[in-house]
Structure 1
Amino acid sequence: MRHRKTPFIFGFLVVPVVLYIALVIWPYLQTFGYSLTDWSGASPDMNFIGLDNYTKLFRDSAFLDALQHNLLLLIVLPLATILLALFFAFMLNVGGKSGTGGVQGVRGSAFYKVVFFFPQVLSVAILSVLFQGVYRTDKGGLLNGVLIALGIVDENHPWDFASNPTFGLWCVMGVIIWSGVGFYLVLFSAAMQSIPKDIYEAALLDGAKRGTTFFKITLPLLWESIQTAWVYLAIAAMDAFALVSTMTPGAYYGGGPDHHSEIMATLLMRNFITYGKAGYACAMGVVIFFITLVLSVVSLRVTRREKIEF
C-alpha cells in the first residue's frame, strides 16, 4: 500500500514543483546572473564584470539612503500596525461588559470589523489618489484644511507634506499602516475567538483586570499569529514601491525630493528603466532578496516560543 502512495503523491507534486522552479527559482537565478554583468536591459549584449555592481552599490549614497529608509519602515511599520491591530481586536472581542453571557465584545463589533477592514479592499491606485487629496498643499487638502481650521497652520502658508523631506516618507508610512491595520485586526480577532471564554472568566473572577488578561492570556495565546503578521509586514516594509512611487515627488518613480523618500524598490526601477543600468538594478534586487530572506528567518527564530495549547 505504501508503494502505491508514492506515484500518486509524486503525480500531484511534479507539476507544481516544475512550475515553481520555472516561474520562481529560475527568474531568481537569472537575476543573480545578470547582476554580474553590465547589461543595459535593452540589448542582448552584455559583458561579465564580476562583483563590480555590488562594489558600486555599497558606495552609492542614494542606495545607502534608500536602505536606511527601508530599515526605518522595517522598524515602524510592523510595530505600529501590530500594536494598533492588537489593541482594536482586543477591544472589539473582549472589551465589552461582562454579564450573564460572560466576557463579550463591544456592541456592534461585527460592523466595526467591516469598517476597519474596508481599506484593505481598496487598490493601491485608489489609496494613492485618495491620500493625494488628503495631503494636498492648499487649504483644499483635508489635513491642511483641518490644521487651518484649528489655527495651527496659516492659510497662506499650508504644509507641503509629501514634498517635505521630513514628512514625505512618514506620510506614506501612515497610509500603509492605515490600510493594513484592518486586515491584521480581523486576523487577530479570528485567533482571539478561538480562545475559550472560560479562561477569561476565571481570570476575571480571580480579580485580574482587562490589561492583565491581555498581557497574561491574550498575547501569549496569539503569539503565532503575531509572528506571522510580523514576517508579512517585514516583507511589505522592504517593498512599498507602489505608494512611494505615486505619492512622493521626483522624476520617474518618486522618492523625492532629493531621495529623501527613496526606497530600494524605487531606486531599482529608476536604474533599470530610466537609466538603462539593468545589471546594476539586478544587483539591487539580489540585495533586497537576501535582506528580506535573512530578516524573515531571523524574525521567525527570535520570536519563536513554545506552543501553548488550550
Structure 2
Amino acid sequence: MRHGKYPFVVGFLAAPVTLYVVFVIAPYAQAFQISMTNWRGFSAPEWTGFGNYRRLVQDDRFWKAIEHHAVLLVALPLITIAIALFFAFLLNVGGRSTGGQRRGVWGSNFYRVVFFFPQVLAVAIVAVLFQTVYRPNSSGLIDGVLMKLGFDPVLFLVKPSLALWSIIAVLVWQAVGFYVVLFSAGMSAIPSDIYEAAEMDGATRVTLFFRVTLPLLWDTLQVAWVYLGIAAFDAFAIVSVLSVDNGGPDGATTVLALEIYRNAFVYSKYGYASAMGVALFFLTLTFAALTLRLSKRESVEY
C-alpha cells in the first residue's frame, strides 16, 4: 500500500495541477512579461524593462484609483459586515426564547429570502437598476420624487463628493444578503447552551452580541473581511455602468480595473495595462496576507 500511495496521489493531482498551471499561473506570468514591454497588440513587443512601472508611479490617474480603493477597503467591509451582523443576529438569536431555545425575530425565514435576493441578480442588472434609482432628473427614483416635492435633486452620480459613496451604497446593498447567510450559518453552529448560560448570568442582548456572538464568529468575520477586500479591489462592472464617463465625474470614481480596461482596449497600451494588472495583483495579495496576519487570534472552542 505504501509503495502504491505516491503514484496514486500524483496521478490524482496531475490533471487539476496541470489545468491550474496552464489557466492560472501561466496567464499571470505572461501578464508580467507583457508589462515589461510597450506592446500595443499589433506589432512585435519592444522590451522596456521597468519603464511601465516607473511611468505608473508618476500617473495621477493610477494614484487616484489607489485612493478610491483605500476608501473602498475601509468603507465596504465595515458597513457590509456591520449591517450583515446586525440582521443575522436578529434573524437567529434576536427573538424570544422558546422552550429554552433562542430564536430569531418573527418572519425570519422570509427575511432571509429577501436579504439574499440581490445575490440572485447579475452585477450588470444591479448596476442598470441603480441607474434608474440615481437618475438625476424627474425619471429618477430618488431625485424624481424630491423634485416633485419641490426639493433640488441630489445628483448622486454627478457630484464628485457623492459619486463614490453612491457606488459604495450599491456594493453594500448587493453584498449584505450573502454575508447575512454566511453569519447566520456561523451563528446556528453556536450551541444554545452558551446563550442560555449567559442569560442566566444576566446578559442583555447587547452583551450577548459583543461578548458571545462576536468572539465565536471571529474566523467567519476574518474570511468575510478578506472577501470584501477583494471585492473592493474589483468593483469594475458596477463602476463601469454607474459612473459618469467611465470613472467620472473628473475621475471621482475610477478604480484600477477600469484604468486597466481603458489603457488596454481604448488606448491599446497593453504593456502599460499589464503593469497596472500586476500592481493590482500584488496589492490584493498584500491586503489578504496582512488581513489574515493582523486579525489572527486564538480560536475559541465550544
TM-score category of the 2 structures, normalised to the smaller one: over 0.9
Aligned residue type for 1:8? F
Query: 2:285 maps to which residue?
Result: 293
**In 2 relative to 1, CA 178–15 (structure 1 residues): closer, same or farther, beyond 3 Å?**
same
Query: 2:94 maps to which residue?
Result: 95
Write the mapping of 1:39-78 to structure 2, written as runs, cut at 5 A: 39-41=39-41, 43-78=42-77
CA distance in 2, matches of 1:115, 1:149: 29
1:133 aligns with 2:132: yes
Query: 1:19 maps to which residue?
Result: 19
Per-residue CA shift, 1:157-187, capped at 9, x if unaligned?
A: x232212211111111111100100000000
Deviation for aligned residue 1:149: 5.7
Aligned residue type for 1:263? V
1:183 aligns with 2:192: no
1:277 aligns with 2:276: no
Deviation for aligned residue 1:101: 3.6
Query: 1:231 maps to which residue?
Result: 226
* 3-state SS of 2:298 partner: coil
Query: 2:158 maps to which residue?
Result: 163
Aligned residue type for 1:243? I
- The gaps in structure 2 that reach 5 residues or longer are none
Aligned residue type for 1:133? T
2:194 aligns with one of 171, 191, 199: 199
Q: Tell me the number of residue pairs that the alignment of Structure 1 and Structure 2 aligns.
A: 302
* Superposed CA RMSD: 1.2
| Structure with the largest fraction of helix | 2
CA distance in 1, matches of 2:139, 2:8: 64
Aligned residue type for 1:66? A
Deviation for aligned residue 1:8: 1.4
Query: 2:109 maps to which residue?
Result: 110
CA contact under 8 A between 2:77 and 2:229: conserved in structure 1?
Answer: yes
CA contact under 8 A between 2:100 and 2:196: conserved in structure 1?
Answer: no
Deviation for aligned residue 1:148: 3.9
1:262 aligns with 2:254: yes
Deviation for aligned residue 1:202: 0.7
Q: Which runs of 4+ in 1 moved over 6 A?
A: none
Query: 1:221 maps to which residue?
Result: 216
CA distance in 1, matches of 2:77, 2:149: 31
Per-residue CA shift, 1:168-221, capped at 9, x if unaligned?
A: 111111111001000000000011001000100110011011111111110011
* 3-state SS of 1:167 partner: helix
CA distance in 1, matches of 2:171, 2:148: 26
CA distance in 2, matches of 1:148, 1:246: 24
CA distance in 1, matches of 2:112, 2:66: 35
CA distance in 2, matches of 1:70, 1:46: 31
> What TM-score results when the alignment is normalised by the length of structure 1?
0.95
Query: 2:206 maps to which residue?
Result: 211
Per-residue CA shift, 1:235-258, capped at 9, x if unaligned?
A: 0000100010111111xxx10112
Deviation for aligned residue 1:150: 5.8
CA contact under 8 A between 2:39 and 2:269: conserved in structure 1?
Answer: yes
CA distance in 2, matches of 1:267, 1:164: 21
CA distance in 2, matches of 1:109, 1:85: 14
Query: 1:80 maps to which residue?
Result: 79
- The gaps in structure 1 that reach 5 residues or longer are none
CA distance in 1, matches of 2:160, 2:218: 37
CA distance in 1, matches of 2:51, 2:206: 55
> What TM-score results when the alignment is normalised by the length of structure 2?
0.97
